[in-house]
Amino acid sequence: MRKAVLVYLAAKPTRRQAPFSLPWMYKLHRQIFGEVWRWAGKRRCSELNLGVPVHQIDIELQTMLDNLAYWHENADMNLLEQSARLHHRAVSIHPFLNGNGRWSRLLSNIWLRLNGHPITVWPEEHVGSTSVIRDTYLSAIRAADFGDFTALLALHRRYTSTSGDSRINNAIL
C-alpha cells in the first residue's frame, strides 16, 4: 500500500496518473495489494453475501464514475461529500475478494488530492481491526447503505488533514 500512497498522495496526481477510469481502478487495487495477493486487481468471480452480483460489477463501477463526474461538474456538492459518496459506493460494490475498504478509502483520497482538497487520514490501525472507530465506521457505512450519509460524512470531516503533507507521511505511511 505504501507505494500506491506515495504515487498518488505524496504530490498532487495528474489526470493522466489518476484518470478515474475502470481499468485504472483495477490497476490501483493491484498497485496496493499486488505484493500480497496474486489476484490483486482482478474482479471477484464469485458471489458473496455483500456487494453487487458479479455480472454487475463493471456496470456499477462505471455508473459510480459517471455519477462522480456529474457531481463534480454539475451538482452542488462539495469535494468532501463527493469523496464520502465515492468511498461508500466503491466499498458497497465490493469488486474484489478482499481489500475493498482500504482500496475505496485510498480511491476517495486520490479524488480529493487530484482536486486540491486535503485528504482524509483514516486511522487504519483502528479501522481495520476491532475497535471503537471500526464500529463507528461500519455503522456509518450501513447508514449510507440506506441513503443517510450524515455519519460517514462526519467521519470524513473528523479525519480530514488540516496540517498538510507531513500528516500524510506520518499517518498513512
Instruction: Identify the sign of the CA torsion 121, 114, 104, 97.
Output: negative
- Written out in words, the top-level CATH class of the domain with range 2-45+52-171 is mainly alpha
At 127-169, the pLDDT tens digits run 555 666 888 999 999 999 999 999 999 999 999 976 444 445 4
Encoded amino acid at 138, one letter? L
Rg of the chain, C-alpha, whole Å: 15
The pTM score is 0.90
What residues does each domain of the chain span? 2-45+52-171
The C-alpha cell at 65 is 464514475
pLDDT in tens, 83-120: 999 999 999 999 999 999 999 999 999 999 999 999 99
Residue in the structure block whose three cell numbers are 496540517: 163
The predicted structure's pLDDT at residue 171: 40
